[in-house]
Structure 1
Amino acid sequence: MNAVLPWAVHFALACFALAMFLAFLRLLRGPAAEDRILALDALYINGMLIMLVLGIGFGSSAYFDIALVIALFGFVGSAAMAKFLLRGEVIEP
């Protein structure tokens, strides 16, 4: 393994953790519901990226599967929230 890879993994994890913290602040203080939904999108994307970086760092493929599940649930959640904001209901009768 390259000597630079552990440093790059730690730097990437720190950057993604900072991005998650800032997105969480936007989630708490967002002036509108749309801002909060975008903050949730940023949170799940950064969570997925953290799992991918951990998978690269540890050399395990299990982290990639977890990242895929996070991406799938995040997309479905974002679509449901967007539909709720547009129409006021998620499941139409």
Structure 2
Amino acid sequence: MAKHQGAPMPASLRHAFRARAHPARSVPCPHEPCHARAHQSCRVSVNGRVLKQPHDSRIALWARITACCPECQVDPGTPCHTNGLALPDVHPRRIQEAKETLA
């Protein structure tokens, strides 16, 4: 006899459970061996271990998409820069700004 499936989880509860995850999980991970899809945890490619926190490059991508940078005054989506040269990462203050914007 088949088990009875309950009603689907209401969106408000689903959001509360997902809210515990790092907000950077909302974007895909650009870290070379990982490439976790949006809303999936980052993993170690060698052994498949799930990481508690997203890769730094994923957090930087999330901050670049989410927040303006208070240090170099660029809009969301625009890479941070120093002396006109684009940075491969973001300024630490931009990550803080993204967290504050989320709250």
TM-score range, shorter chain: under 0.3
Larger radius of gyration: 2
TM-score of the two chains, using structure 1 as the length reference:
0.24
TM-score of the two chains, using structure 2 as the length reference:
0.22
